[in-house]
Structure 1
């Protein structure tokens, strides 16, 4: 177990040492590389003058011996284009840039050996290296990429095609002489695919060509398609809106026959409608029998029947031509003896309309009735009482009546007439409206009325003494009105027999 742990510790120590070595190398390389300051990328257009800057930031303890600018094209070997030594004059070796490259400072300085290139060309694009020879650290360098830009000439066009079954090119888009290469895309609802190709020119520019291919149909004619070109030199993508051009033979339709051509009908018209690309040139009407009825008048795409008779009982054919081909359509006319009834509104529509009218009238009637009721209530003063009536006052006569017994009594002077009194423990409640509601009650109702009366109010037909306000012969019209009672004493109305 101890041997296994020792082996693991040994392996871990070796790994840590290796990592430390790599880190030290990277730090040394980074520290030395950071002292040569250059621009990572510089862009320019053909014909311009471009400056490539270089400087050694910290030369403490280091002796700068020499500076060399090196050009490394995309494809090719490295070439020295400018050399600076403190003991000698600047030197410009033979290169494609000789005569156009020079140090910017005069006299040049080893700490800032920047250069400029006049009349830059597309072929000058590539990698430019500012390399220092130093003592005692050796060579140190910085790299600048020169990117040459060329604004392309963009264009797009439509290719006119005919309806077919194989994919063909229907649109083209080009970005000519651009640097770097442009990006081309298509925007359309048509069902197709794009193919793109690039070609490098003599001066290192690039021409990009894109073609849109599809199987053309008549439905694709006139559809929108746009070519969109994106390039570094453009502020925004450039778009070219186009419309597909697909040629096809005429497509023909005859309209106007309603299946109700009857004998004697006049001025019925058939119209020959046609679409095609290119536009149809001619329209011709025929009949399957070969003879055109005498009552027919043809004007261009319209066939007018002045009067329907048996000769119109045939098949009419319309033929339309263009450069691509011929299109036709036909309609067979059936002449009827009598006219077909015209179709009216559907039953459902009629019922719905009636129901709607009824609902509307009901709403209007309800509104009118409510308005009239509200107005009548205001005119008649009806409604809940606006004040509370005072309670009734009890009089001494009422108190005296309560002290008398409810049965007849006999005094010393002899029998007296029976007096009938009503004993009340609460204030009376009257409902006069109830008597007015049922004026025509029968005899049976009369019996119920008397049977429901309190003691002393039984039916007078039982040979009992009637109340003092009734005559002995039960004549309801001969009764004598009782004594008047002030309204302040009681609010009970006198009894009434109907």
Structure 2
């Protein structure tokens, strides 16, 4: 049962695939261009061909115009047994088969002096036997390059949204797209309406609440259209009119009796430009020591008369604005301001940095000195040159001592006496300096310490002697020492 159902499903799938395949193949037999672009007044060619007529009889060809709105209309008919026919239509007199005489296998048409209203679908439909009707569809798109423009609207600062700029794309096909680029806070509105000869006119307005700060800001209208290689931009500047904004500068709160040539300046901005500036006082009386020149008020000498409120009034076409400052005359001059907090903080930071640098230098110097004292640097001791030496020969070899070093220690020196055994001993590598010293002094009498262990000069200094005097005892030159030689027991 399951196998029977599976076979039924497989058969159904093959049948559907076959139908879809046949339909696809047949749909490709009528070859047309999917889309054709044209401008008004041009001649447009709409191509059509039956690609494979093997086993098929081509009976008739009909071109059908299908507008975006309205019913389908036959505009051209071709039958192999009759002359071409052009039924009544908006294209009659402007449409014809091409080439002439026409070929049923390639029944292309041309439309001269095309209009914007000619835009729509054009169907090339074949009547065939035995497969029936076959068709191909071409979309004719009419293009019209629009006339673009933009402008600003001069407005007054207020509290309600108003139109500050306009942009327009007139008689375009298809409809243009308009956008705005600006730092001002607002939004654009777009309106489209039908134009002449099936064209479209697109208008856009930018609305915002204008403020004095918006005056002179950049705003650009950008128009994009299919006929343009790139969007067209119109840079503009907002024009917002406002009453003057007035500020008096120059008063430092240090007008003291006797001070001379102090100046107040009336600064004003406005759109349009202010046309008048007027100085006055709240009392209505201007002191005698005051001179006025344009937007500057100069006090030649400060006295009690200028202890008043000065007013600057500015006018333009939009309105009048004013600012005022009250001058307080002091008997004496205010003391000079001390260092600012920023200066104090800067000085403290500078001192801290200086101390850090000094501390770093000291630490580096101490480290260097420590390394030098610990012997990591070059040797600090330089032995003195030998002064005088005495030799002692015990028959086994010769050992020579200098008188003493700076610490009253006897220093061994090399002996140049010819002795092979002695040379052998000198050339031998010492194993342990402490061992050799202990061995050397082990035969000394009690109380004879290593000279390096004593800070006192030894009681005598050994001198050289000949080998022949080995059995005659130790000879000491009295001129060299006044101490009797030690006796060995």
| Shorter-chain TM band | 0.7 to 0.9
Counterpart in 2 of 1:489? none
Is the alpha carbon distance of 1:49 and 1:423 closer, same or farther for their aligned partners in structure 2, counting shifts above 3 Å?
Answer: same
In structure 2, distance between residues paired with 1:389 and 1:88: 141
- Which of 227, 237, 245 lines up with 1:233 in the alignment? 227
Give 3-state SS (helix, strand or coil) of 2:198's partner.
coil
TM-score if structure 2 supplies the norm length? 0.75
Q: Does 1:154 align with 2:148?
A: yes
TM-score if structure 1 supplies the norm length? 0.73
Counterpart in 2 of 1:255? 249
Check whether the contact 2:310–2:325 (CA below 8 A) recurs between aligned residues.
yes
In structure 2, distance between residues paired with 1:365 and 1:136: 106
Is the alpha carbon distance of 1:67 and 1:388 closer, same or farther for their aligned partners in structure 2, counting shifts above 3 Å?
Answer: farther
Counterpart in 1 of 2:47? 53
- Which of 108, 125, 128 lines up with 1:131 in the alignment? 125
In structure 1, distance between residues paired with 2:82 and 2:23: 30
Counterpart in 1 of 2:326? 332
In structure 1, distance between residues paired with 2:391 and 2:113: 133
In structure 2, distance between residues paired with 1:388 and 1:63: 130
Counterpart in 1 of 2:212? 218
- Which of 327, 336, 346 lines up with 2:340 in the alignment? 346
- Which of 445, 463, 482 lines up with 1:405 in the alignment? 445
Q: Does 1:384 align with 2:410?
A: no
Counterpart in 1 of 2:452? 428
Q: Tell me the CA shift for residue 395 of structure 1.
A: 4.0
Check whether the contact 2:64–2:122 (CA below 8 A) recurs between aligned residues.
yes
Counterpart in 2 of 1:30? 24
Q: Tell me the CA shift for residue 385 of structure 1.
A: 6.4
Q: Tell me the CA shift for residue 354 of structure 1.
A: 7.7
In structure 2, distance between residues paired with 1:349 and 1:116: 88
Q: Tell me the CA shift for residue 348 of structure 1.
A: 6.3
In structure 2, distance between residues paired with 1:290 and 1:482: 127
Q: Does 1:205 align with 2:175?
A: no
Q: Tell me the CA shift for residue 28 of structure 1.
A: 3.3
In structure 1, distance between residues paired with 2:442 and 2:31: 132
Check whether the contact 1:402–1:423 (CA below 8 A) recurs between aligned residues.
no
Q: Tell me the CA shift for residue 364 of structure 1.
A: 13
How much is the aligned-residue C-alpha RMSD, in angstroms? 3.9
In structure 1, distance between residues paired with 2:47 and 2:29: 14
Is the alpha carbon distance of 1:312 and 1:15 closer, same or farther for their aligned partners in structure 2, counting shifts above 3 Å?
Answer: farther
Superposition pairs of residues 286-365 of structure 1, within 5 angstroms: 286-346=280-340, 349=343, 352-353=346-347, 356=350
Counterpart in 2 of 1:192? 186
Deviations 1:185-219 (A, max 9, x none): 11112111111010111301100000111111112
- Which of 237, 240, 243 lines up with 1:243 in the alignment? 237
Give 3-state SS (helix, strand or coil) of 1:209's partner.
strand
In structure 2, distance between residues paired with 1:222 and 1:281: 20
Counterpart in 1 of 2:471? none
Check whether the contact 2:171–2:196 (CA below 8 A) recurs between aligned residues.
no
Check whether the contact 2:281–2:311 (CA below 8 A) recurs between aligned residues.
yes
In structure 1, distance between residues paired with 2:49 and 2:454: 124
Is the alpha carbon distance of 1:430 and 1:301 closer, same or farther for their aligned partners in structure 2, counting shifts above 3 Å?
Answer: farther
In structure 2, distance between residues paired with 1:204 and 1:300: 62
Unaligned runs of 5+ in 1: 407-420, 432-452, 458-466, 470-480, 486-498
Counterpart in 2 of 1:110? 104
Superposition pairs of residues 445-464 of structure 1, within 5 angstroms: none
Unaligned runs of 5+ in 2: 400-438, 462-476, 482-489
Q: Tell me the CA shift for residue 468 of structure 1.
A: 10
Q: Tell me the CA shift for residue 108 of structure 1.
A: 1.0
Q: Tell me the CA shift for residue 163 of structure 1.
A: 1.3
Counterpart in 1 of 2:406? none
Q: Tell me the CA shift for residue 400 of structure 1.
A: 10
Equivalenced residue count is: 411
In structure 1, distance between residues paired with 2:218 and 2:137: 48
Check whether the contact 1:172–1:211 (CA below 8 A) recurs between aligned residues.
yes
Is the alpha carbon distance of 1:383 and 1:15 closer, same or farther for their aligned partners in structure 2, counting shifts above 3 Å?
Answer: closer
Give 3-state SS (helix, strand or coil) of 1:203's partner.
helix
Q: Does 1:285 align with 2:279?
A: yes
Check whether the contact 2:143–2:227 (CA below 8 A) recurs between aligned residues.
yes
Q: Tell me the CA shift for residue 258 of structure 1.
A: 0.5
In structure 2, distance between residues paired with 1:269 and 1:405: 110
In structure 1, distance between residues paired with 2:88 and 2:390: 142
